[in-house]
A = this chain, B = another copy of it.
Amino acid sequence: MPNLLLIQSPDEPGLIYKITAVLFAHGLNILRNDEFVEPEGNVFFMRTEFAGNPDAGALRGALAAALPPTARVRLADPRPRDVVVLVTKEHHCLSELLVRHAFGELNATIRAVVGNHEVLADLTGRFGIPFHYLPHAGRSRAAHEAEVLAVLADYRPDYVVLAKYMRILSPGFVAPYANRLVNIHHSFLPAFVGASPYAQAHARGVKIIGATAHFVNEQLDQGPIIAQSVIPIDHTQSAREMAQAGRDVEKIVLARALQLVFDEKVFVHRNKTVIFD
């Protein structure tokens, strides 16, 4: 990963000039630059890949002096992100992530997999990743979440990925991982919120189905959308066949969303994403 500068700031005239002046004065060369101004909130977003060896403290100081006081400036850590994956029974998203991870394509380190069922332990083990089986049966939601949180605390992941984790998370679970918890929802949100979206899609007779990768917030399936994709279907497909077809979409959408997130190309603003793809 190259040097990365991420800025979110109230907009005002001359921001690009002021920022690039600081970079120029520090002898840093811009390789790629993306900006966007959200017109409604008048918020400025900028992501800059640059070459050179900056004195991070001096650079941050100079930028702070040049920018509005409420601007957020971040020099991204060049190390791969640490990730824990939560799963239930379906393998396709986890398989996709494990394979990419095994071949160095994920720009992240999968530290562990946590499952509320045990069926994916064998697959995980084949790739040499620790699997934590934390069954929810016989436990309260709070007790089960506390156990999962405890495992997460051990790994201190940058991101938690819900790879077909079929449990609804309480706000208390979500809060400490704000904008760091990525879910794949098996529908083209907001079309079929909640459970059994393929059954819903089949009952409604839609001609296209899709999948949505999003950050999780306190309302089920309502967090900022990162990526979506669709496939055409027709009347000949049962709800079960639609689910099968949908899995290929789900895993690719999740992988693409994670690539954007791990490459620091995603800003979250209110309930939406700004993505410099």
Which of B21, B192, B273 has a CB less than 8 Å from the CB of A235?
B273
Q: Is the CB of A274 within 8 A of B16?
A: no
A230 close to B208 (CB less than 8 A) = yes
Closest chain-B Cβ to A264's Cβ sits at a distance in Å of: 16
Do residues B189 and A190 form an inter-chain contact, with CB atoms below 8 A?
no
Q: A190-B191, A208-B230, A235-B275 are in contact. Are A13 and B17 (CB under 8 A)?
A: no
Q: In the complex, A222 Cα to B194 Cα: how many Å?
A: 19
Q: Closest approach, in angstroms, between the C-beta of A204 and any C-beta of chain B?
A: 6
A80 at the interface (CB under 8 A from B): no
Q: For the complex, is A172 an interface residue (Cβ under 8 Å from B)?
A: no
Interface of A toward B, CB cutoff 8 Å: 13-14, 16-17, 20-21, 23-24, 29-33, 35-39, 91-92, 95, 99, 102-103, 105, 123, 126-127, 188-192, 204-208, 210, 224-230, 234-236, 238, 244, 248, 252, 255-256, 271-275, 277
| 7 A-B pairs with least C-beta separation | A205-B272, A17-B20, A191-B191, A95-B99, A207-B228, A17-B24, A13-B29
Question: What are 27 A-B pairs with beta-carbon distances under 8 A?
Answer: A14-B20, A16-B16, A16-B20, A16-B30, A16-B33, A17-B20, A17-B21, A20-B20, A32-B37, A33-B35, A36-B235, A91-B103, A92-B99, A95-B103, A99-B99, A102-B123, A188-B208, A189-B191, A190-B204, A204-B271, A206-B228, A208-B228, A210-B230, A234-B277, A235-B273, A248-B252, A252-B252
